[in-house]
Amino acid sequence: MSKDTLLIAGLALVVGIGIGRASAPANPSTSIAEITSIQTVSAATLAEYSENAVNALDASGEPYALFFHSESCATCRSKEANLTAEPRLSQLDRDRIIKVPYEQAPTALLQKHGITKYDQFVFCDGSGECETKKGATAEDITTHIKADKMMNDSMNDDQTSAAGSYEAYPSSAELAALAASGDKFTMFFHSKTCATCRRMDGEISERVSEIPADHTIVKIDYETADRDLLKEHGVTKYHTFVTFDGSAYETNPGLSTDQLLASIQ
């Protein structure tokens, strides 16, 4: 074999080894799924303060806590570490612990809750009531977030199971079926041009939880209502209520929201 042939064969071997090494995975035993899993793991965090975040929590009805902290405060850093490591708290729970930098906090927010220094907490129960706590521990915060949420969930379940309903005018067939069922219901004859009707519509919507579980209030437009239905129940104007108590009908024009709800209890 000539020297030139040996030289070409040697170069080919070197190039082949180099290509093989470049294309081989760094660790053949590590799967793509494992690599992806490692890259997507994220550390638990507390929520960062913003006015929108607080407004959203207020609207949600969920309990939450404001944690006024400072990076220069060793106790604050320790409490944050304990909260992010607390196994009883999910990330959804931690999203309801809002970390507020004391030095940059809005003055109005500090004054609202009487905050005079960092390492202070404000516990809000989800109903608009808040209480400022000085020197609260990570355990106190965890208890507030978990216990108040369970209480709120229980109350919401009770209200849902105990409340009746307020519905828009059903079809004639649905209304007939409701009447034939023997269930208790009230027909609210209203008009879009009636300011009192619009106000009561809003009030009833806000107080649905006060409607008995076995009762339904249906809203019927007086102008478009079936004339035979109006004649049958003696309805001659809007802002009139006709209640079926399971055995008989009673027509009551001009009731207030309080009077209506009291009459169907």
Q: Is pLDDT above 50 for 24?
A: no
In terms of CATH architecture, what is 165-263?
3-Layer(aba) Sandwich (3.40)
Tokens describing residue 21:
């090494």
Indicate the range of 22-26, 63-67, 104-108, 206-210 predicted with least confidence: 22-26
Helix ranges restricted to H, the chain: 3-23, 32-40, 51-60, 74-85, 91-94, 107-113, 138-162, 172-181, 195-206, 227-232, 257-263
Tell me the average pLDDT across 104-110: 93
Confidence of residue 181 (pLDDT cuts 50, 70, 90): confident
List the domain boundaries for the chain: 47-160, 165-263
Average pLDDT over residues 242-257: 92
Share of the chain above pLDDT 90, in %: 32
pTM: 0.43
CATH of 47-160, one of 2.40.160.40, 3.40.30.10, 3.40.640.10, 2.40.50.140: 3.40.30.10
Q: What is the pLDDT of residues 141-178, one digit of tens each?
A: 888 787 654 444 444 444 444 568 888 776 777 788 77
| pLDDT classification of 49: cutoffs 50, 70, 90 | very high
Tokens of 250: 């009673």
Of 51-60, 133-142, 164-173, highest mean pLDDT: 51-60
Give the least confident one: 22-26, 44-48, 71-75, 174-178: 22-26
pLDDT of residue 264: 93
Query: What's the rounded mean pLDDT across residues 52-59?
Result: 86
Q: Give me the pLDDT at residue 252, please.
A: 94
pLDDT at 15 exceeding the cut of 80: no
pLDDT of the residue at 157: 46
184-190 vs 240-244, strand pairing mode: antiparallel
Q: Which of 76, 200, 218, 57 is nearest to 137 (CA)?
A: 76
Residue pair 128/58 in contact (Cβ under 8 Å)? The answer is: yes
pLDDT band at 92; cut points 50, 70, 90: confident
Q: What is the mean pLDDT of the chain?
A: 79
Confidence of residue 43 (pLDDT cuts 50, 70, 90): low
165-263 has the same fold as 47-160: yes
